[in-house]
Amino acid sequence: MFKFFTNKRWFLWSIFGSSLILISTWYQVQLDVKINEWFGEFYDTLQKALTTPGSVSEGEFYAYLFTFGKIAGLWILINVFTTFFTEHWVFRWRTAMADYYHKNWHKARFIEGASQRVQEDTLKFARFLETLGTGFLDSLMTLVAFTPILWVLSKQITYLPIIGEVNHALVWVAILSALIGTIMLITAGIKLPGIEYNIQKEEAGYRKELVLGEDDSNKANPITINQLYNKVRLIHYKSYFHYLYFNAVKWSYLQAMVIVPYIALAPTIVTGAITLGFVQQIARAFSKVETSLQYLVRNWHLIVEFISVWKRLSEFEAKLNSAKEDEIITIK
C-alpha cells in the first residue's frame, strides 16, 4: 500500500507533492487566524456603532467588509487549488498500488476476490485517504495555530462556573471536553470496525455467487442466494443497531458542546468585563481548538470504513506476497 513512497517513479509526487500540500494547508490555517482576528475587530466596531450612533462612519464599516472579502477570497483560492492538487496526489497513490497489483496479476488472479481488491478497495482507499488525511492535517495545523491564541485570550477568563478560579480556563475546558467526547465515542463505537469488515465480507460472498450465476446455470440458485442474502441482511441489521446508540451518543455530545464555551464565559460576560468582539473571537478560537481535538469523534464512521479497507488490502497483499504462480488462495 506504500509503493507510492518507495517507487522512484513517484518520487516527485510523493515528496514534493506532500510538501506542497503541507505548505498550502498551513497557509490556509494562517488565513483562518487572520479571519479570527477580523471577527474580534469587526464585532467591537459593530458594538460601538450600535451603542454610540455616529461613532463609526459608513466608509469604516464597508472597509471592514472589504478586508474580510480579501482574506476570504484568498482562502477560497488556496482551498480550491489544494483540493484539486490533493485529488491528483491521492490518485497517483492509488495508481502506484494498482501498478504493483497489475504487475503481479499473474499471481493475484488466483486469489479469490482479487478483482474487487484491485478495483474497488483501491478506489475506497484513495477516497478515505483524501478525506481523512487532509482532515487530520488540517486539524493538526489548526490546533498548533489556534491553541496559543486561545491561551492568550483565556488570560481574561479566570473563573469557571462551579469549579472556580482557573488560569487559562478555556484551553483546559476545550482539552477536557474533547478528551471526554473522544473516549465516549470510541467506547460506543468500538465494535463498528469489525462489523464493517464483516459487512464487506458477506456482501462479497453474495456478489460473487451472483456473478458466477451469470455464466453457470448451476450457480446462484434461489436457495443459495437467499441464504447468502440472509447473512447480508443480518449483519446490516446488526450494524444499524450499533450505529443507533453510537449516533445517539455522538450527536448528544456535539450538540451539548455548542453551548459549553458560553457556559464557561457566563461569569465573565454577565459582569460586562469583555466586549462583544472579544466574545466572538474567543468563541471562534475555542471552536477551532475543540473541533481539531474532536477529529476522531467527527470522523469515526469514516475511520471505521477505512480500517475495514485497510484490513482487506493488507490481507490481500500478504496473500499475494506468499502466493505461487498457479496456487489458488481463498481470501474473504
Query: Grid coordinates 462489523 are at which residue?
Result: 195
pLDDT of residue 299: 86
In this predicted structure, the answer to whether residue 327 has a pLDDT above a threshold of 70 is no
pLDDT of residue 274: 78
b/e code 273-284 from CB counts within 10 Å (16+ = b): ebebbbbbbbbb
- DSSP-based three-state secondary structure for 294: coil
d(CA 196, CA 308): 6
pLDDT of residue 323: 66
Residue 155 burial by CB count (10 A; 0-12/13-18/19+): exposed, middle or buried? exposed
**pTM to 2 decimal places:** 0.73
pLDDT tens digits along 165-208: 888 888 888 888 888 888 888 888 888 888 888 888 888 888 88
- Domain extent, residue 251, equals 3-322
* Residue 149 backbone dihedrals phi, psi, to 5 degrees: -65, -45
Report yes or no on 132 lying in a domain.
Answer: yes
Using only the alpha carbons of the chain, give its radius of gyration. Answer: 26
| Averaged pLDDT, 32-36 | 91
pLDDT over 90 for what percent of the chain?
Answer: 19
pLDDT of residue 239: 92
Report the CATH number that the domain containing residue 28 is assigned in CATH: 1.20.1560.10
Report yes or no on 27 lying in a domain.
Answer: yes
Report yes or no on 231 lying in a domain.
Answer: yes
Q: Cell for 271?
A: 459582569
The tally of domains found in the chain comes to 1
Report yes or no on 332 lying in a domain.
Answer: no
The DSSP code sequence of 58-127 is HHHHHHHHHHHHHHHHHHHHHHHHHHHHHHHHHHHHHHHHHHHHHHTHHHHTTBTTHHHIIIIIHHHHHH
pLDDT tens digits along 210-224: 888 887 777 778 888
CA distances from 127 to 66, 91, 203 (A): 37, 9, 20
* Confidence category of residue 325, pLDDT binned at 50, 70, 90: low
Residue 90 half-sphere exposure, CB side, CA atoms within 13 Å? 20
| Averaged pLDDT, 148-158 | 84
Q: Mean pLDDT in the chain?
A: 85
pLDDT of residue 331: 43
Report yes or no on 56 lying in a domain.
Answer: yes
Report yes or no on 118 lying in a domain.
Answer: yes
Report yes or no on 59 lying in a domain.
Answer: yes
pLDDT tens digits along 266-302: 888 888 877 888 888 888 888 888 888 888 878 888 8
Report yes or no on 327 lying in a domain.
Answer: no
Query: Grid coordinates 490546533 are at which residue?
Result: 143
d(CA 72, CA 165): 38
* Confidence category of residue 21, pLDDT binned at 50, 70, 90: very high
In this predicted structure, the answer to whether residue 329 has a pLDDT above a threshold of 70 is no
